[in-house]
Amino acid sequence: MLQDLIAQARTWLAEDPDPETREELAGLIESEDLDELAARFAGTLQFGTAGLRGELGAGPMRMNRSVVIRAAAGLAAYLKAQGQTGGLVVIGYDARYKSADFARDTAAVMTGAGLRAAVLPRPLPTPVLAYAIRHLGAVAGVEVTASHNPPRDNGYKVYLGDGSQIVPPADGEIADAIAAVGPLDAVPRPEDGWEVLGDEVLAAYLARTDAVLAAGSPRTARVVYTAMHGVGTSVLTAAFDRAGFPAPVLVAEQAEPDPAFPTVAFPNPEEPGAMDLAFATARRTDPDIVIANDPDADRCAVAVPDPGADGGWRMLRGDEVGALLAARLVDRGATGVFAESIVSSSLLGRIAEQAGNGYAETLTGFKWIARVDGLRYGYEEALGYCVDPEGVRDKDGITAALLVAELASVLKEQGRTLLDLLDDLAVAHGLHATDQLSVRVKDLSVISDAMARLREQPPTTLAGLAVTSAEDLARGTAELPPTDGLRYRLRGARVIVRPSGTEPKLKCYLEVVVPVGSADELPAARAKGAELLAGIKRDLATAAGI
């Protein structure tokens, strides 16, 4: 086995164009590190609807220049097979390790394949790339990013010409084209011939952000902002300045791009401890709200002053922000379809129904939400919000931040806060309390075993609530294509279990709905909701064996 692995590794080493990964792999071969070589050559990093995402390093199971060149060559072959010969592919990238290299390799491969390539001028938020695709009339776009993954990861996200991320069958067809790529030295990669864009695209994106805000709306909210060591600071501050908001107070330790993400264990605002520096800055400066983007600035987190919270600040759940933004758009008279993924709170449907707007549920991911016909607003509980689908058909943490700041300003003029509006929504529609049971694993068999156990022995009650239906989403439904997931409906509650598409996690999404007759009943309703969520989480963990 060792000799087979070494033979595979030597073959890979011979065509690796990157001196760093060549040196890394040569060291593994010399030391005959069986375990590490087996992990690197256990298969091939799979291209799917999330594109590619994985740990940096040498070998076909890691993100590296060889893997990216093959992915780019496969994408180019797919585009040409679709009749897009000569079309433009626009390429963006974040500030992670190797992102700029992967962007240049992609541009070279596209140019060598006879397509036109244009690269954004520097590391910029993913929504700028998503905007640029339609703005420039591109046939496809590539964003090199691992979003909120750990520092050791990178990724490769593909969009088609409509500005939306790929979905089946395109992902499978691109994967087949990647698999058909021969030796790397047969992939033409000229040294030049592609365009490096200027700031005109960014200027056009910033001009489009005007569409998010109501003319003449208040712009007084004071904000503390963190880019989480990502690429959001310059774009968000420019958007806030253009809109006339006070300049955000930056979390200085996290304001500049840094691929090491030195102040956080995971660069995700949802992770424990990630917002500690932002809250410390808020306690010194007393803003109205705290806003955080993830490293590629397509997600937006919001925190509010709360005397009852530890440290005086509370992170709003993604579902809470999703409902607040929907309420703001409804208040402004927005019409069209309000859409969300099935793992997000059902409160959005009630808000849309009361306003006379359409409502749609999709599979998890903005690749599905963005494709809803007549979309006016879309969100997902994982801090993703599409508030201007005519501009960016994807989640956009910059425009979401603008709309949150506008809403906070409107409420501030009324002597109210975001928490007051959440209370109003609970009284109007019932308290929709959500939570998540999320288990990060090193061994992926833990996830498959848990899913198999739940399929074989589905729970009949959770937290004393009867399970009224159990759906295996892998079989598909009348409204949804097949996906690896399970949905349980209970009396007054809902649970969805699925493997994460981007991280080694099993994720369980929980929601309970507690009727509320008046504001006086809210404390009791919250206590009831918390009790039910804790019980469901406990019983579900037992049922899944996690």
Tell me how far apart the alpha carbons of residues 117 and 217 are, in angstroms, rounded to a whole number.
Answer: 40
Q: Residues 6 or more apart from 110 whose CB is under 8 A from it?
A: 72, 76, 89, 91, 116, 117, 194
Q: Which residue has the tokens 């060291």?
A: 27
Q: Residues 6 or more apart from 163 whose CB is under 8 A from it?
A: 130, 131, 133, 134, 141, 370, 392, 393, 394
Q: Which residue has the tokens 């449907």?
A: 349
Q: Residues 6 or more apart from 120 whose CB is under 8 A from it?
A: 90, 91, 92, 93, 128, 129, 132, 197, 201, 202
Give catalytic residues, as residue numbers. Answer: 147
Angle among Cα 501, 502, 505 to the nearest 5 degrees reads 80
Burial call 208-239: b when 16+ CB within 10 Å, e when fewer = bbeebbeeebbbbbbbbbbbbbbbbbbbbbbb
Beta strand extents in 138-253 (DSSP E only): 140-144, 153-160, 195-196, 223-226, 249-250
112 in Cβ contact with 190 (< 8 Å): yes
Structure tokens at 546: 């996690």
